[in-house]
Structure formats: structure tokens, C-alpha cells
């Protein structure tokens, strides 16, 4: 029985559509680029440009919030046009164009402009890409598909900081030069997407409906969808920007050139756990998996709150944070894909992003203020408190919200 289960899982990942694999490698290259910048950007803002933690929090909150808000429009347009690939190419292209701008920035305002451009690109591509993964994959394999894409995405997120550490060592802490190199994998990702993904237009006739009619249909989607949206927003409130993880690692006493290793450690664990937990979500209760993810986030916050200048404890907290992401990131996408009608899937991912964007903006701004006024420990303890609140809401939600897919037919 056990051997058979292992064989089924192995064959399952091999039988995933080619387009899902290509999208995974597009995400990998893009995250190499983005994390080369992101792993050094807080240090660049605070150490080079003299910004405060509050400004970092507001900047990161606005940037990430912008990405998630933009998703609602790109998702709706991808539904209306019956095409996912074109907006995804545009989004990845904007991300590639933004990378050289970080190297040229001489003030926090210019960094803000480059960061917003990068996140607008992320917002444009996010919902169409996730809808495309769902469109290309049978319902019984969606957990594995989202888990695979997330795993490859996260491999890029760990290779990016690792490459940043190497280049910082070779080039004597020249952050701007690292930012310039970050444009290369971003351009390669755009080329791979253009040449390697072919989308299906099976849903084109339905998706060509006017956007106004599509918005009016949203109140008629199953209640389970709105529960997932609300739970996802609470997750974002509990999980503020990862910029604060970088700053916490720097506080632990790591030399500046090695600080990106914090993101390497987190993303190694994230990458290793995303596919196994994604495949597991095709069979296990989603409620239990989300609760396990919240438990990991709670433990991570407590470790980081008590890690005063202690490198091992900080890295323990980062590893637990990575497990939390591996369990929950792909799972929330699976739950959105399952609970929304197929012809509204892009819009559904977009609305989820809109609500989550407001939550992450608020969470990151508050985290920055708490950091400056009361210290890093208070920031992470506040995150732990929101995680506990989210856990309570999770257990009070209807059971139907969390049931995994049990048939090969698409009930949507």
C-alpha cells in the first residue's frame, strides 16, 4: 500500500501537463531575479539610503498590496478575453524592465517607483498564470500542479539570495552591481514563457462575456469561495513582508554580505515542502493543513521574537516560516480554483488578490511602526497574535470549505 502510494505520487508529477512545468521554470527564473533584489533591498534602503523601518514597512506594504490589487483587473480581463498568456507575458515583462532601475536609484522615492513597477508586473501576471495552471490541469491533480509550480518558484527564491551572497563577496558588497545582474534571469523567463506555453481556449466562448456581467455574477459564487477569501486575508495580516525577516537576520549579527542567506534558508525549506504538501492537499482535509501551517507560523514568530542577537534561533524561525509557506501558499490557490466557477476563475483569483492586498498593506505598515517604536520582538509577537485569531476563525468555518477534491470531474 505504502509502495503503491509512492509510485502514484511519482507518476502523478510526471504526468502533469508540460505547460505547468514550463510555468514553474518561468517562476523559478523570475524569482531568482526578484530575490536577488529583495534579499538586499531592505539593507540598501536602511544602510545606503538611510531610510527607517517604518518607511520600509510602508514601501513593502504598498508594493505587495499593489501587486495583489492589480490581480483583480488582470484576472477579469483574462476571463473576458479567454486568454491567459498575453497578460502573463506583459506582467513578467514589466518585472524584467524594473530590475535595472533599482541599480540607478539614488533615493527611497526612486526605489519606490522601481518596486511599484515590479509589483504591478507581478499583479498583472499572477491571476492569469494561476488560472492558466488550473485550466491546464485535471481537478484531481491541481494540488500537485500548484505545489510543483510553487516548489520551482521557491527554488528560484533560494537561488536568488544565494547568488546575491556570492556576487556580494566577489564584488566587495557592491549592491548596485548585483541589482544590474538581476535583470538577466528575468529576461530569460519572459522568453521561456513566450516560446514554451500554449494555452487552451476551451472556455473562450464563456470567457468572452462582458466584464460587467462577470462582476454581477460574483455574488452568486458559492459561499465557500468567500470563506477562502476571508481566511486568506487573515493569513496576510498574520504574515507581513519578508523584508522584516531580512532586517531581523541583520540584527542577529550576520555580516551584511551574508544576510541574504536568511532568505536562502527560508526558501530551501519552502521549496522542499511545497510540492509534498501540495500533493497531500489532493487527499487530506484542507482545514487541518491550514491549521498546521498556522502552527508553524506561530512558532516562527515566537522564535524570531526571542532571537535577540542569536543567529541559530533566527534561522530556526526562518525555517519554520518556510514550512508555513510550503503548506499554505499553494493550498489557498487550490481552494480558490475549486470553489469558483471555471468561467470566473481569473476574476476569482483577482478578487482574492484584491482583498489580500489590502490586508498585506495594513500588516506591513503596522509591522514597520511597531518595529520602530517598540522593537522587533513586538512586531513578531503581534504576528503571532493574529495567527492565533486566524486559527480560531479556521475552526469555526463550515466543513465544506475545506474538503479536498474527490472526483476526476470538474465540479466547477
Q: What is the pLDDT of residues 65-121, one digit of tens each?
A: 677 667 667 777 777 777 778 888 999 999 999 988 988 888 888 888 888 898 888
pLDDT value, residue 212: 45
Distance CA 28, CA 288 (A): 29
What domains does the chain contain, in order, with CATH numbers? Answer: 19-193+221-401 (1.20.1250.20)
Distance CA 367, CA 133 (A): 33
Q: Where are the alpha helices (DSSP H) in 108-182?
A: 108-136, 142-170, 175-181
**Dihedral in degrees, nearest 10, Cα atoms 54, 69, 245, 288:** 130
Sheet strands (E) in 27-112: none
Owner of C-alpha cell 504538501: 277
Number of Cβ within 10 Å of residue 375's Cβ equals 14
pLDDT value, residue 250: 81
Confidence of residue 13 (pLDDT cuts 50, 70, 90): low
Distance CA 360, CA 197 (A): 31
Query: In this structure, are residues 269 and 150 in contact, taking their beta carbons and an 8 Å threshold?
Result: no
Query: In this structure, are residues 164 and 40 in contact, taking their beta carbons and an 8 Å threshold?
Result: yes
Q: Is the pLDDT of residue 10 over 50?
A: no
Distance CA 243, CA 266 (A): 13
Owner of C-alpha cell 499554505: 328
Rg from Cα positions in the chain: 20
pTM: 0.66
- Cell triple for residue 210? 462582458
Distance CA 338, CA 324 (A): 21
Distance CA 237, CA 361 (A): 9
Owner of C-alpha cell 519606490: 112
Helix (H, G, I), strand (E, B) or coil at 17: coil
pLDDT value, residue 200: 62
Residue 276 exposure: Cα atoms within 13 Å on the Cβ side: 8
Over pLDDT 90: what percentage of the chain?
18
- The pLDDT of 393-407, averaged and rounded, is 72
**Helix 53-81 and helix 108-136: axis angle, to 10°?**
40
pLDDT top residue among 365 and 15: 365
Please give the mean pLDDT across all residues of the chain: 80
Query: In this structure, are residues 45 and 51 in contact, taking their beta carbons and an 8 Å threshold?
Result: yes
Query: In this structure, are residues 318 and 370 in contact, taking their beta carbons and an 8 Å threshold?
Result: no
- Cell triple for residue 282? 489532493
For 262-317, write each residue's pLDDT tens digit.
888 888 888 788 888 887 877 788 888 999 999 999 999 999 998 765 788 888 99
Q: Is the pLDDT of residue 204 over 70?
A: no
**Dihedral in degrees, nearest 10, Cα atoms 85, 87, 89, 92:** -130
pLDDT value, residue 257: 76
Contacts of 376 (CB under 8 A, 6+ apart): 244, 247, 248, 251, 304, 305
- The pLDDT of 258-263, averaged and rounded, is 81
Distance between start and end Cα atoms, the chain: 31
Confidence of residue 382 (pLDDT cuts 50, 70, 90): very high
For 147-178, write each residue's pLDDT tens digit.
788 778 878 877 888 898 899 888 878 888 89
pLDDT value, residue 189: 94
Q: Is the pLDDT of residue 195 over 60?
A: yes
Distance CA 210, CA 76 (A): 10
Query: In this structure, are residues 130 and 333 in contact, taking their beta carbons and an 8 Å threshold?
Result: yes
pLDDT top residue among 222 and 37: 37
- The pLDDT of 361-375, averaged and rounded, is 87
Contacts of 74 (CB under 8 A, 6+ apart): 87, 91, 123, 124, 125, 126, 127, 128, 346, 350
Contacts of 266 (CB under 8 A, 6+ apart): 158, 242, 245, 318, 319, 321, 322, 325
Amino acid at each position: 500500500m505504502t509502495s503503491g502510494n509512492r509510485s502514484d505520487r511519482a507518476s502523478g508529477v510526471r504526468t502533469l501537463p508540460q505547460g505547468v512545468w514550463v510555468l514553474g521554470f518561468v517562476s523559478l527564473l523570475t524569482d531568482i531575479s526578484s530575490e536577488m533584489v529583495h534579499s538586499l533591498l531592505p539593507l540598501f534602503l536602511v544602510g545606503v539610503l538611510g531610510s527607517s523601518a517604518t518607511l520600509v514597512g510602508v514601501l513593502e506594504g504598498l508594493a505587495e498590496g499593489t501587486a495583489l490589487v492589480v490581480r483583480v483587473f488582470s484576472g477579469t480581463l483574462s476571463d473576458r478575453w479567454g486568454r491567459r498568456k498575453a497578460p502573463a507575458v506583459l506582467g513578467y515583462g514589466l518585472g524584467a524592465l524594473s530590475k535595472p532601475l533599482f541599480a540607478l536609484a539614488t533615493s527611497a522615492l526612486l526605489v519606490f517607483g522601481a518596486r511599484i513597477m515590479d509589483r504591478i508586473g507581478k499583479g498583472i501576471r499572477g491571476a492569469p498564470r494561476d488560472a492558466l495552471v488550473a485550466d491546464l490541469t485535471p481537478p484531481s491533480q491541481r494540488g500537485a500542479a500548484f505545489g510543483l509550480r510553487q516548489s520551482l518558484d521557491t527554488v528560484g527564491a533560494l537561488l536568488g539570495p544565494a547568488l546575491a551572497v556570492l556576487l556580494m563577496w566577489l564584488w566587495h558588497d557592491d549592491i548596485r552591481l548585483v541589482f544590474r545582474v538581476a535583470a538577466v534571469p528575468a529576461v530569460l523567463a519572459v522568453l521561456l514563457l513566450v516560446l514554451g506555453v500554449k494555452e487552451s481556449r476551451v472556455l473562450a466562448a464563456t470567457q468572452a462575456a462582458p466584464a460587467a456581467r462577470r462582476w454581477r455574477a460574483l455574488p452568486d459564487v458559492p459561499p465557500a469561495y468567500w470563506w477562502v477569501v476571508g481566511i486568506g486575508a487573515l493569513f496576510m495580516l498574520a504574515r507581513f513582508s519578508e523584508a522584516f525577516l531580512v532586517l531581523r537576520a541583520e540584527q542577529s549579527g550576520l555580516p551584511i554580505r551574508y544576510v541574504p542567506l536568511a532568505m536562502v534558508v527560508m526558501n530551501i525549506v519552502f521549496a522542499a515542502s511545497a510540492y509534498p504538501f501540495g500533493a497531500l492537499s489532493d487527499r487530506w482535509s484542507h482545514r487541518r493543513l491550514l491549521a498546521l501551517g498556522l502552527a508553524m507560523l506561530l512558532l516562527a514568530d515566537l522564535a524570531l521574537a526571542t532571537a535577540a542577537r542569536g543567529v541559530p534561533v533566527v534561522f530556526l524561525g526562518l525555517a519554520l516560516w518556510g514550512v508555513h509557506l510550503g503548506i499554505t501558499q499553494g493550498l489557498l490557490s487550490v481552494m480558490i480554483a475549486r470553489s469558483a466557477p471555471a468561467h470566473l476563475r481569473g476574476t476569482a483569483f483577482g478578487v482574492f488578490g484584491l482583498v489580500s492586498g489590502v490586508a498585506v498593506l495594513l500588516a506591513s505598515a503596522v509591522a514597520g511602526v511597531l518595529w520602530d517604536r517598540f522593537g522587533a520582538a513586538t512586531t513578531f509577537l503581534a504576528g503571532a497574535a493574529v495567527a492565533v485569531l486566524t486559527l480560531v476563525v479556521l475552526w469555526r468555518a463550515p466543513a465544506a470549505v475545506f474538503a479536498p477534491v474527490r472526483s476526476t470531474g470538474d465540479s466547477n
